[in-house]
Amino acid sequence: MKIVVTDPIISRFATILRSGGHDPLMAADRPDEEVVTTLRDADVMVCSRMTEPMARAGTGLRLVQVTGAGYERIPLDALAPRTAVANTSHHGRAIAEHVIMTVLMLSRRVLRTDRLLRQGVWESVAVDPDLTLGDSVAGRTVGLLGLGEIGGQVARLAAAMGMRVQAARRDPGSPLEPGLELDRVVSMGELPALLATSDVVVVTVPLNPHTRGLIGAAELRRMRRSALLVNVSRGPVVDERALYDALADGQIAGAAIDVWWPTDGVNRSGATLPFAELDNVVLTPHNSGHTRETFESRARDIAANLTALETGRPLRNVVRAAAGA
């Protein structure tokens, strides 16, 4: 099989990709026009994004293997009918650890005290009795928006930290994962009550027409002034202007933003508002799931799918089946 790999991160794990005897063409550093040419006789493309010219050129592709969970950057309608699309995941634990880390940073004002100490300012209640004390997370309530892989892992870690956990999901009656216990699970229609009773709101739902703008000005007003918002979903699930205003006005206590709003330019994302000027925000470049363990596991998934395709066995994590399959 001819396998073309264009994702730069998964390319670091080429040894794992080759573990089944495969010999992929590593093309992460090649321009899009050259990739189009290589796809004309390719069987598999391993990628995090695909352009429409790539999809039209890859008429013989049997599999587009996405290197993460999201496949919104794959032009499904432009692919040949017999091209299957599969994804992979394994980022839940890493993202959950990131969520807990940022909640602790915001609760203990780590960014501010670190910045001041680098400037030679020793800010501490030991020397300034007027300073507000930080908060422990034990006993506080985390409200999850979504209860998939990420939400489930956040629930486990939050409970281990002594937090109460509640969640809103599309189907509140569906069974929970074994060993997962929550204080309550409600429908998305009960989101206002969940927002009003949570100290930390964690957004993990996928971006789709139903979730775009799910958290706007009205929803932020329902949150406690002492509450934190953590978004590890997609930027447009939360209204950018509404979140900035809520943070700047002290309507909520803080936020951790790992996912952003699309801006001009290929592969660029960010914000149109000056979040970086705010003291009550932790900003990260969509890297909450970026750990070695995440990508090693993804590479093993991909290698297994390559072997399955070559030997005629069923693919795993199929998000679009090939026509006639």
Q: What is the pLDDT of residues 64-83, one digit of tens each?
A: 999 999 898 999 999 999 99
Percent of the chain topping pLDDT 90: 92
Domains 3-90+292-320 and 92-283 share a fold: yes
Task: Give the strand pairing for 261-262 and 164-169.
Answer: unpaired
Token pair recorded at residue 297: 């596991």
**Span of 88-97, 211-220, 268-277, 301-310 with lowest mean pLDDT:** 268-277
CB neighbour list of residue 128: distance below 8 Å, 6 or more residues apart: none
- Confidence band (pLDDT; 50, 70, 90) for 5? very high
More confidently predicted of 262 and 294: 294
Tell me how far apart the alpha carbons of residues 288 and 231 are, in angstroms, rounded to a whole number.
10
Residue 266 has a pLDDT of 45
Per-residue pLDDT averaged across 193-210, rounded? 96
Residue ranges per structural domain of the chain: 3-90+292-320, 92-283
Per-residue pLDDT averaged across 166-191, rounded? 94
Residue 269 has a pLDDT of 60
Strand, helix or coil for residue 141:
strand
Domain covering 3-90+292-320: architecture: 3-Layer(aba) Sandwich (3.40)
Residue 302 has a pLDDT of 98
Per-residue pLDDT averaged across 307-313, rounded? 97
**Res. 168: pLDDT tops 90:** yes
**Res. 295: pLDDT tops 80:** yes
Tell me how far apart the alpha carbons of residues 258 and 262 are, in angstroms, rounded to a whole number.
13
Q: Which amino acid, 113?
A: T
Q: What is the pLDDT of residues 231-243, one digit of tens each?
A: 999 999 999 999 9
Residue 263 has a pLDDT of 66
Tell me how far apart the alpha carbons of residues 325 and 313 are, in angstroms, rounded to a whole number.
12
**Res. 294: pLDDT tops 80:** yes
**Res. 104: pLDDT tops 80:** yes
**Res. 8: pLDDT tops 60:** yes
Tell me the CATH number of domain 92-283, given options 1.20.120.330, 3.40.50.2300, 3.40.50.720, 3.30.830.10.
3.40.50.720
Residue 265 has a pLDDT of 47
Kindly report the average pLDDT of the chain as a whole number.
Answer: 95
Q: Within 10 Å of residue 6's Cβ, how many Cβ atoms?
A: 24
